[in-house]
Each structure stands twice: as structure tokens, then as C-alpha cells.
Amino acid sequence: MKRVSIFGATGSIGQNTIDLIMRAPDDYKVVALSGGANIAQLAKDAIALDAEVAVTAYESRFEDLQSALQGTSVVAAAGASAIAEAAARPVDLVMSAIVGAAGLEPGLVALQQGATLALANKESLVTAGALVLRTAKANQARLLPVDSEHSAVFQALIGEDISAVERIAITASGGAFRDWNLNDMANATPEQAATHPNWDMGQRITIDSASMFNKALEVIETKEFFGVDPNQIEVLVHPESLVHALVGFNDGALMAHIGPADMRHAIGYALHYPDRKTLPVERLDLARIGQLNFRAPDPARYPALRLAWDVMEIGGMAGCIFNAAKEKALDAFIAKRIGFLEMATVVENTLTKLSGDSGLILAEMTLDTVKHTDQLARRIADETIQKREG
Ligand code: NDP
Ligand code: MG
């Protein structure tokens, strides 16, 4: 029986993880679940899975959670530090499915106890790749990708030598505005951006898919996870979202991973690793699908992609700054304070302002220095947003 904790349990990845666990209740013991504002869902799942502890990220919601858990054996807790404490409870595997940089600390704590970290929270590797990898290594803890593209690359690399890899291509659906022109994109609303053509995901990653900030984060995640050079990474627009990634080897072979656009594949792969077990996902009928299309992304419509390569070139804390500014810009777009295309401007301005500070960029990466840089980048991004509002 695997002992498992799920952080971000009430979100899209968290709920898909719980779906798989509930189908095989004898295989898992759920230890800790965390959520945010969705107290009802958190309490319901914690009770159904007989978790030891349920934690909401918000201290102000502690009493709500406590009363929802009354009369059960599930302990209620609240706040970011309570999530980190819950991550220290001994388990075999932690599903890291909080959205945003808030997912970093519980992931680090999980690695410190030697647990396998199933990483949906790509922001961890973008914000603090060196720190995450160092912590995993020091504690002989395993990192497993849950992002579909990275799970695909990971699977294509089984039995292969990374030194034989020439290139890694990750695919992008193109998101909600794949076929929109720049003018229409400039006027796009958060509601329009939050509709994904193929994947059913949380609101924030869906909007990030429309801007390709999600793909930009994933490019950096690819570099960190697989240790390849930035010039070995490619992004391909693939409207069908069935080929998740391709690995090109030095003999010219391309290994593609094909599967349905259902996150339960990558989640299930990580949950069962190193085994493969039957998963409740659609079996593709390629003869019926008939065609798979690929094209290069248009750099003018997706400035986020260029910024990803800038970030990798700057290195150090640039990923932390990039992610923090992106989170702020996304908040401002959702609040209708800035336009869709202005998100990239806010991120680029923040990066430009801070990347000249070599003391900041090259500081030793610890949780404290990362938090400091994250806060600073959020402040600078806020200033840019306020200026743009006039
Ligand atoms: P959701 O928005 O659906 O869920 C996010 C989860 O995090 C919820 O449980 C939410 O709680 C919780 N949460 C939100 N803010 C905080 C915070 N400040 N502190 C602690 N917990 C918080 O996101 P997704 O499931 O879509 O994505 C989760 C992660 O997985 C992201 O990093 C995303 O990039 C990545 N990912 C997602 C994919 C997908 O298919 N959805 C695919 C690949 C990667 P509540 O809802 O209760 O407020
Ligand atoms: Mg992905």
C-alpha cells in the first residue's frame, strides 16, 4: 500500500488524482490533503479517503474546515506553514498540484523526507530548479513529472542515454486564441482566454495556454528536468493535443508519445511508477483521427516563448522573477486591469528591471533567497501594472 499526500487536492490535477485513487482504494493510504477556498470539496474528499489531516491554505477558513470535519477523525489545519508541516508527514509519494509558486515549499519538504515528488506544479522547477534538484539529490528522493509533455519525454527516454538526445520538442495546442489575429487577442477577455480547445484544466493554466506562458514555463521546466541545453528545446503547435512531446536522437529517430488529452494518463503513470497499470482513459483510434498537424508557433503572437529563452540565458533567479511577474500579470488580466497582450509586457519589464542586478540573479538559491526574489519581482510587476492603468 502506497502512502500518498495530495497538495492542491481540490484543483483539476488534485481531483483527477483522487479519481484514480478512489478506483483503487486498497492500493493507497491517503495521509494529507490540502486545498484553498473550496472547503466543502476538501472536507468531502478527506472524509471519503479517511485522510489523517486536511489543510486549507487560508487561515481565515480554519473554522469552516473544522466544522465541516466535525465528528470525523480528520484533523483540520490552516495556513501555508500548516501545509508545509503536513508535507513532512511520512509518505511514499506526494502529488504537488498547488497552482503557482506557493507549491514550492511543500514540495521541498516532501523531498527532504525522501518522498517521491510527483510534480504537476511546474512553477517549482521554473522558480527554483537548482534548489529542487539539489534537495532531491541530497535526500535521494525521486522527482516524477506530471505535466503531460514532461511525462511524455520521461517515457520516451526510458532505456535511453540522455547524451544521445539531440532535441526535445514539446507540443502546444495553441490555446483559445490559436487562430485569432493580434488585434483580437489584444481585446480578449479572461472568459474567452479561459476556454481551452482540448484540455479541461484549472482557470490559470488555461489562460496561460492561450498566451503560451504555460508553454514558456514548460520550456524552462524541460531544461531543468532533463538537463538539456536551451537550444535543444523546441515548441511545436499541434492543434490535436495528442502527441505530447517528441524526443529526437542522434541517429535521426524521433520518439513521439501519443495519448488522449486526459491528465489521468500522466498522473496515473506517476502514481504507479515504475509499473504501468490499466488507466480509465480513452484508447485512441488513429485511423478515425486520420491526421495529426504540426506547425511552428508565431513569435509575434506568443512573446512569452521568446521570454523563456531569455530567462534560460540569464539563469539563476531569472526563472523566479519570470514566474512571479507572470503570476501578478495573470492576476491583473483576470481582474481586467490589463489587456491580454500586456501580460507579456509586464513580465518583460520586470525581467529587464531586475536582470541587471547580478547580486540578485546569482544569489545562492535557498528557500529564503527565492522567497525574497519572488516578493521583489511581484512588487516591481505591480508597479508596472499600476503605471499601465494610468
Ligand atoms: P487549479 O486551479 O484547478 O487548482 C489549484 C489547487 O491549488 C487547488 O487545490 C487550490 O485550492 C489550491 N491553491 C490555490 N492557491 C493556493 C495557494 N496560494 N496555496 C495553496 N494552495 C492553493 O489548478 P490545476 O489543477 O489546473 O493546476 C495545478 C498545478 O498543476 C499547476 O502548477 C499547473 O500548472 C499544473 N498542471 C496542471 C494541468 C492540468 O491539467 N490542470 C496540466 C499540467 C500541469 P482551491 O481551489 O480550494 O482554492
Ligand atoms: Mg503541460
Burial of 390 (C-beta count, 10 Å sphere; 0-12/13-18/19+): exposed
| The predicted structure's pLDDT at residue 389 | 83
Q: Please give the CATH topology (third level) of the domain spanning 315-389.
A: Rna Polymerase Sigma Factor; Chain: A (1.10.1740)
Amino acid at 171: T
pLDDT for 390 beyond 90: no
294-316 pLDDT, tens digit each: 999 999 999 999 999 999 999 99
Mean pLDDT of the chain: 97
Give the pLDDT mean for 106-115: 98
Protein residue with its CA nearest to atom 40 in ligand 1:
201
**In 3D, which of 313, 315, 311, 291 has the Cα closest to residue 303?**
311
Give the pLDDT mean for 30-45: 98
Higher pLDDT, 388 or 134: 134
Domain boundaries, the chain: 2-145, 150-289, 315-389
Give the pLDDT mean for 176-191: 95
Q: pTM for the whole thing?
A: 0.98
Q: Quick one: pLDDT band at residue 206, thresholds 50, 70, 90?
A: very high
Check pocket membership of 199 for ligand 1, CB cut-off 6 A: yes
For every residue of 211-246, DSSP letters joined together read HTHHHHHHHHHHHHHH---GGGEEEEE-TT--EEEE
Check pocket membership of 13 for ligand 1, CB cut-off 6 A: yes
| The predicted structure's pLDDT at residue 361 | 98
Protein residue with its CA nearest to atom 41 in ligand 1:
201
Q: Do 315-389 and 2-145 have the same topology in CATH?
A: no
Question: Which ligand is closest in space to the CA of residue 150?
Answer: 2
Mutation test residue for ligand 1: of 205, 211, 262, the one with most atoms within 8 Å of CB: 205
Q: The C-alpha cell of 45 is what?
A: 474528499
| The predicted structure's pLDDT at residue 197 | 87
| The predicted structure's pLDDT at residue 272 | 96
- Map residue 290 onto helix, strand or coil: coil
273: CB partners within 8 A, 6+ apart: 116, 144
| The predicted structure's pLDDT at residue 242 | 98
Are residues 64 and 72 in contact, defined by beta-carbon separation less than 8 angstroms? no
For every residue of 110-152, DSSP letters joined together read HHHTT-EEEE--HHHHHHHHHHHHHHHHHTT--EEE-SHHHHH
Dihedral sign (CA 119, 124, 126, 129): negative
The whole-angstrom separation of Cα 36 and Cα 54 is: 11
The whole-angstrom separation of Cα 354 and Cα 377 is: 8
| The predicted structure's pLDDT at residue 355 | 97
Protein residue with its CA nearest to atom 42 in ligand 1:
147
Check pocket membership of 106 for ligand 1, CB cut-off 6 A: no
| The predicted structure's pLDDT at residue 362 | 97
Q: Which CATH superfamily is domain 2-145 in?
A: NAD(P)-binding Rossmann-like Domain (3.40.50.720)
* Phi, psi dihedrals of residue 234, rounded to the nearest 5°: -130, 155
pLDDT for 270 beyond 90: yes
Cβ < 5 A residues, ion ligand 2? 147-149
Distance from residue 252's CA to the centre of ligand 1 (Å) = 38
DSSP 282: P
315-356 pLDDT, tens digit each: 999 999 999 999 999 999 999 999 999 999 999 999 999 999
Question: Which ligand is closest in space to the CA of residue 17?
Answer: 1
Are residues 32 and 51 in contact, defined by beta-carbon separation less than 8 angstroms? yes
42-54 pLDDT, tens digit each: 999 999 999 999 9
| The predicted structure's pLDDT at residue 265 | 98
The whole-angstrom separation of Cα 206 and Cα 209 is: 5
118-147 pLDDT, tens digit each: 999 999 999 999 999 999 999 999 999 999
Question: Which ligand is closest in space to the CA of residue 122?
Answer: 1
Check pocket membership of 8 for ligand 1, CB cut-off 6 A: yes
Distance from residue 215's CA to the centre of ligand 2 (Å) = 7
| The predicted structure's pLDDT at residue 323 | 98
The whole-angstrom separation of Cα 171 and Cα 198 is: 13
pLDDT for 366 beyond 90: yes
CA 173 to chain centre: 16
pLDDT for 203 beyond 80: yes
| The predicted structure's pLDDT at residue 388 | 87
